[in-house]
């Protein structure tokens, strides 16, 4: 659960502070900042669909979540440093990749939660996970906003990258078979009833 919350909290902080950070490097380009935010959202929509499709096709829950989380971390680190280039196209490219993987992680997290909490209703696990993620989103956004004022965008983005690193490590630990005693309960139940 905490892995999804860290991812969502980081994404909310990035998207909320996007204009402030972007305008530090591209002064007077408010409209471009809006387009950058739109690109973040649209690429996230595409990422959600494609990552969900990959998960549906492979049923490799743990591995898929780890790969997407690591790419989210890589995107965050790249975003931290690409702003210095003072060139728009790399900023747009990295922001789109960041949106693709960070938002692409959300359906994976919700589906994985439904799998490991089965036979509990999916609405219960999704609702609790979403509520927890929203709390993390508020906390991360407030903390990152304060850090941005005091320490600047580089330190703030590196702190958010650190949070994603922790989330990646937690996700990596759950790739081992011993992470959950009742691995993929829903899929096992579905396969059992189909036989």
DSSP-derived secondary structure for 62-78: HHHHHHHHHHHHHHHHH
Write down the pLDDT at residue 165.
96
- Position 143 scores a pLDDT of 97
Name the residue among 64, 66, 86, 62 with its Cα closest to residue 74.
Answer: 66
The C-alpha atoms of residue 142 and residue 111 are separated, in whole angstroms, by 28
pTM: 0.86
Q: Which domains does the chain have, with CATH numbers?
A: 2-194 (1.20.1250.20)
State the number of CA atoms in the 13 A half-sphere of 95 facing the CB. Answer: 24
- pLDDT computed for residue 182 by the predictor: 42
Q: Report the alpha-carbon distance of residue 50 to residue 163 in Å, rounded.
A: 24
Burial code of 69-89, b = ≥16 C-beta within 10 A, e = fewer? Answer: bbbbbbbbbbbbebbeeeeee
The Cα 76–Cα 79 span in angstroms is 5
Average confidence (pLDDT) per 10 residues, the chain, 195 residues: 88 95 95 97 97 91 91 97 94 98 91 81 84 93 97 97 94 64 52 57
Listing DSSP states for 144-163 in one string gives: HHHHHHHH-HHHHHHHHHHH
d(CA 93, CA 46) in angstroms, rounded, equals 14
Report how far residue 65's alpha carbon sits from residue 167's, in angstroms, rounded to the nearest whole number.
Answer: 11
Residues 6 or more apart in contact with residue 20 via CB below 8 angstroms: 148, 153
CA–CA dist 194, 152 (Å, integer): 56
């Amino acid at each position: 659960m905490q892995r999804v919350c860290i991812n969502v909290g980081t994404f909310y902080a990035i998207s909320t502070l996007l204009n402030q950070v972007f305008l530090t490097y591209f002064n007077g380009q408010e409209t471009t900042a809006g387009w950058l935010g739109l690109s973040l959202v649209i690429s996230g929509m595409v990422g959600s669909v494609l990552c969900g499709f990959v998960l549906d096709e492979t049923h490799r829950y743990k591995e898929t979540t780890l790969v997407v989380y690591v790419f989210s971390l890589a995107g965050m680190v790249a975003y931290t440093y690409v702003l210095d280039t003072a060139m728009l196209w790399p900023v747009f490219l990295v922001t789109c990749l960041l949106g693709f993987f960070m938002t692409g992680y959300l359906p994976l997290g919700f589906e994985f939660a439904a799998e490991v909490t089965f036979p509990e209703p999916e609405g219960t696990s999704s609702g609790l996970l979403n509520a927890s993620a929203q709390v993390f989103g508020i906390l991360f956004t407030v903390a990152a906003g304060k850090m941005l004022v005091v320490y600047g965008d580089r330190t703030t983005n590196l702190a958010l990258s650190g949070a994603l690193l922790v989330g990646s490590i937690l996700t990596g630990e759950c790739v081992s078979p011993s992470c959950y005693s009742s691995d993929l309960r829903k899929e096992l139940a579905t396969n059992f009833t189909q036989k």
